[in-house]
Chains A and B, each alone.
Chain A
């Protein structure tokens, strides 16, 4: 009986949290159009979320591209000599459609999500958010909107860069390990990758960026009880963002396929 009670409470809590999150997301989107619009905070957040994430995105995708070339090239050569000339196409399609967008977003969920949740959580437990309210400023407008906009603008940009660098990483290994000239790799990539692939990959990161920003701001706003609460909010932000990216990736891909993307 007690187990059923606890299960019931957990389910009610889960639905209450989903409801609160939906209201929070709706309010964030509604506040985008409200005045005053703080352009300098937006630019600052774009630098924090986007520009400072470039090294993480670029270095990771370069090595992922190289690993892809090693693994795929080795497997192809094992079954048919010379077929590794198709490496350019294989690596680029994987990087464009799935690997670069998803892995970059996962990395940024860690870097950006933890930073947003810790910052807002600290503001919550040190009365800074209460102070915002008393200064006639809606905390969602002031804190959540610039981070949300910065994330949906810059995360697709970082992912596009990651796609290019990841494909280049694949080209470097293909050239050194399998003697595939850069021109052939590029020609092969252009043969297999079209604008729909690029559209599909980059559009996904727009949604992933929104998920990271909203989840991290939401968990930060709900932080309670000092340093421990801030730590808990940070963990929740990263874990929930990661899960949402992976789960939503499947559904977004499925919907895109319905539309022939």
Chain B
């Protein structure tokens, strides 16, 4: 079953045509990686799905409904079902780690304080951040912030998680730990995950399918095995991480 369907999505900033009519289907419960060189519009794609940018043209269907036609109330309800992990974590630095994770639980649920505390501690335990509940986000490393960001993203038990470069800026060990965490959430909670990344190790460790964005269009969509054996010179260059090839640096 298709969870997210992107159809002919176009987005430009002035004369810069970032997305030139992209199409992508993401199935229920899969981990889809969107890869590509920096500046190819991966984050723009994620921001369109997250509702942070409005596309110029095209459709974004979630569970078969075009979210671009949603009214304010439907958008709010949709956002409760979609968790987003930002590249720089996006934690509120005026709140503690606990308050960050409890943010939506406090605002949109009728749980008691004790229940919310239990849920926040559980989520922080899941991401290995127990003991940091009352720390200020600014005092944490980026890797730790990302784990707290992930705990916040899953606090409302979302059906979809969107991750913008979750392993960028963290050491390889922590990168692997973040990947394990995403995999665990996907298996245990059955969430559909869209990951924007250019970390090839992560792709081969975690992805169910991969799509490669190049000059505003997808030039490859398929499984990791197909990605590895793809003959397209542009895909080969990216997989091998070579500075020489059709993709200009």
A56→B127 CA distance, assembly (Å): 45
A38→B84 CA distance, assembly (Å): 23
Contact of B80 among A123, A133, A136 (CB under 8 A): A136
Asked if B215 is at the interface of the complex by the 8 Å CB criterion, the answer is no
Q: In the complex, what residues of A have CB within 8 A of residue B82's CB?
A: 134
Asked if B108 is at the interface of the complex by the 8 Å CB criterion, the answer is yes
A131→B88 CA distance, assembly (Å): 11
A123→B91 CA distance, assembly (Å): 9
A213→B82 CA distance, assembly (Å): 32
Interface residue count on the A side (C-beta < 8 Å) = 14
* B107 with A137: CB separation less than 8 A: yes
CB within 8 Å of B: which A118-151 residues: 119, 123, 126-128, 130-137
* B50 with A136: CB separation less than 8 A: no
* A127 with B86: CB separation less than 8 A: yes
* B51 with A133: CB separation less than 8 A: yes
Asked if B63 is at the interface of the complex by the 8 Å CB criterion, the answer is no
Q: In the complex, what residues of A have CB within 8 A of residue B86's CB?
A: 127, 130-131
Asked if A26 is at the interface of the complex by the 8 Å CB criterion, the answer is no
A242→B88 CA distance, assembly (Å): 35
Digitize B82-95: 1 where CB-to-A-CB distance is under 8 Å, 0 elsewhere: 11101111111110
* A136 with B76: CB separation less than 8 A: yes
Q: In the complex, what residues of B have CB within 8 A of residue A128's CB?
A: 90-93
* B51 with A135: CB separation less than 8 A: no
Q: Which residue of A lies closest to B155 (CB)?
A: A135
Q: In the complex, what residues of B have CB within 8 A of residue A130's CB?
A: 47, 50, 52, 84, 86, 90
Asked if A260 is at the interface of the complex by the 8 Å CB criterion, the answer is no
Contact of B108 among A127, A131, A133, A136 (CB under 8 A): A136
A136→B75 CA distance, assembly (Å): 8
Pull 12 A–B residue pairs with CB atoms less than 8 Å apart, ordered by A. Answer: A119-B94, A126-B93, A128-B90, A130-B50, A130-B84, A131-B91, A133-B79, A134-B79, A135-B107, A136-B80, A137-B104, A137-B107
Q: Which A-B residue pairs are the 4 nearest by beta carbons?
A: A131-B90, A127-B90, A136-B79, A134-B84
Min Cβ gap A26→B in Å is: 15
Asked if B220 is at the interface of the complex by the 8 Å CB criterion, the answer is no
Given A134-B52, A137-B104, 11 more A-B residue pairs with CB atoms under 8 Å apart are A126-B88, A128-B90, A128-B92, A130-B52, A130-B84, A130-B86, A131-B84, A131-B90, A136-B76, A136-B80, A136-B108
Most buried by B among A128, A130, A135: A135
Min Cβ gap A13→B in Å is: 15
